[in-house]
Amino acid sequence: MSSDIQPATTKIFFREAIARAMREAMRDDPRVVLLGQDVGPFGGSYKEFVGLSATFGPTRVRDTPVAEEAMIGLGVGAAAAGLRPVVSITYMDFLMLGLDPLVNYAAKARFKTGGQIRTPLVVKTTAGAKGQGVAHSQCLEAWLMSVPGLKVVAPSTPADAYGLLKAAMLEDGPVVFMDHKRLFPTAGEVPVAEGHVPIGKAIVRRAGTDVTLATHSYMTRIALEAAEALDRLGVSCEVIDLRSLAPLDIETIAQSAARTGALVTLEEGQLTCGVGVEILFQVLERTGPIATARVGALPAPVSSNPVLEAAALPDADRVITAIRRLLESSRPGKS
């Protein structure tokens, strides 16, 4: 295919991409239902479900009480019995309240029943800090990555939000779709044609030759900002957006890291047992020794206080500093 033929796209907001994916899936498949707090006529906390209630009605778009265990449990049970529910958990912090049915039942149902039961369920939840404090800011995706039977996706663009949500709703097992408070108001080009983005495929957002920077979700934007600044300093940074955390597309990262010889991971969550350490180890298993570093939150709760919130979280300056320090120590003179 000639590279100058591009599919037609339209610029929409991240929240609109989610609504579009839901609308198309609910139109195509009567088994798709949406459960969650404020997902009905209110249209979702970030307007990401606007219009669905009016189109599909209260049987398929259900406002729930504040009861995360029952919300996810009902979604799992309904999935096991023939529906394809999407359960909206407003913030990822509250996912903890519903982990039992997700981890103990949904992620194991297929295995433990010898393939008799499948749980095609999507749990959509919003991570990340935006001034809401210690119990409304967390990025807990690394916990979920260690659960066999669970898939986890984390888009950073409207196109991927649309495409990955469409893909998640086609899966036969549970998928956690993690978005981010700071992504909802962002806009981007989304293909006009309907389709989906395959789960398990990372994407190179920016090509580079000196260092590979692997990240996901909102931090992809921070990574691109850092890469832009590094470019002006003469450091060519390749930015990989993971998109899917489970399964991880480790080959794409390893190939890039083998080429650049340096790998830095960036996440908004904790470094201990985090996404980064998993990526680094799996890449090192493939490449052998290369220069590595990881950037993430401070080992502290994330306050709603703007000074403390900013202090706890990675930003472009910290990424730049980490990369320069890494290259300085591994390749003196390069940065």
Partner 1 sequence: MSALDLLADMLRIRAFEAVLVSRRDHGFQLLSSGAEAVAVGVAAALTREDQLLTSGRSIGPALARGLDPGRVMAELLGKASGTNRGKGGRGHLAQPSEGFFGAHAVVGGNLTIAAGVALSFQVRQIPAVAVCIFGDGACAAGALHETLNLAAIWKLPLVLVCDNNQMAVSTPRADALAPAALSDLAAPFGLPHATVDGTDVLSVSEAMRAYVARARSGGGAAFLECLSERFYSHSSSTRETRSAAEMAVVKTRCPIERLAAHLLDAGDLDAEALARMRSEAHEAAVAAMAFAEAAPFPDAAEALTDVL
Q: Is 89 in the site for partner 1 (CB under 8 A)?
A: no
H helix or E strand, kind and range, residue 216:
none
Q: Is 80 in the site for partner 1 (CB under 8 A)?
A: yes
Q: Is 36 in the site for partner 1 (CB under 8 A)?
A: no
Tokens of 29: 């498949």
DSSP code of residue 98 = G
Q: How far apart are CA 233 and CA 88, in angstroms?
A: 43
Q: Dmax of the chain from CA atoms?
A: 64
Size of the site for partner 1 (CB under 8 A): 40
Q: Which of 41, 51, 133, 173 binds partner 1 (CB under 8 A)?
A: 173
**Which residues pair with residue 174 across a beta bridge?**
none
Beta-carbon neighbour count of residue 214 at 10 Å? 31
Q: Which of 46, 49, 105, 177 binds partner 1 (CB under 8 A)?
A: 105
Nearer to partner 1, 242 or 264 (CB): 242
Residues with Cβ within 8 Å of residue 311, at least 6 apart in sequence: 298
Q: Is 258 in the site for partner 1 (CB under 8 A)?
A: no
Residues with Cβ within 8 Å of residue 255, at least 6 apart in sequence: none
Q: Which of 4, 5, 115, 272 binds partner 1 (CB under 8 A)?
A: 115
Q: Tokens 């998109």 identify what position?
A: 243
Q: Which is catalytic among the residues 24, 136, 216, 267?
A: 136
Q: Is 60 in the site for partner 1 (CB under 8 A)?
A: yes
Q: Which of 77, 120, 269, 296 binds partner 1 (CB under 8 A)?
A: 77
Nearer to partner 1, 92 or 121 (CB): 121
Q: Is 69 in the site for partner 1 (CB under 8 A)?
A: yes
Show the binding pattern over residues 138-157: x = contacts partner 1 (CB under 8 A), - = does not. Answer: ----------xx-x------
Q: Which is catalytic among the residues 68, 238, 267, 309?
A: 68
Q: How far apart are CA 279 and CA 276, in angstroms?
A: 5
Question: Which of 233, 195, 190, 185 minimizes the C-alpha distance to 211?
Answer: 233
Which positions touch partner 1 (CB under 8 A)?
31, 33, 59-60, 62, 64-65, 67, 69-70, 72-83, 85, 100-101, 104-105, 110-117, 148-149, 151, 173, 247
